[in-house]
Structure 1
Amino acid sequence: MFEVIKATAVGVVRGIKASWHLYRSLPILAQWLISVPLAFGAMFSLIFGSMGLAFWGTAVAINAWVIGPAVGVISVLLAKAGIIILRDQRAK
């Protein structure tokens, strides 16, 4: 059982290292285009998450712990899509 957990952990660490290496090999503009939405998404969820987003017309209070992961997933998906697009453009 511990061998499976160890193998999974090693695989996750390798994946993170590979993603970081790919991220750092991108041009600085692409790095900014990936990290700025992530930073603003995190700030948005921390600042406005528990206020209920009343300025959007919703009266439901949304906790930062609820909206934070959702914004994080969306940001990661957009960043991954950007990396794929840049990789495809570089391959041409």
Structure 2
Amino acid sequence: MGAKVQAFDPEGLHEARQLLRDVDFKADPYEVATGADALVIITEWDQFRALDLDRVKLLMNAPVLVDLRNIYKPADVRARGFKYASIGR
């Protein structure tokens, strides 16, 4: 078993590709969400603050969102049907 990691980094793509050679980098966050069992937000870039969460949910295998930057309101995300975890609240 194991995990397949897909990522999108709008700012540090070149550097990230050098450091994380086993990661499959995608063109946008929606491509990352496609077929995912969980989505983890680790940066606060505007692209992540403005996600169409309804679209994200439809693309994922399982609607699980882990928000390490606390950019979403838990009640709002859960109301859309996600299992939601945020760190440090």
Q: TM-score range by the shorter chain?
A: under 0.3
TM-score, with normalisation over the residues of structure 1? 0.23
TM-score, with normalisation over the residues of structure 2? 0.24
Structure (1/2) with the larger strand percentage = 2
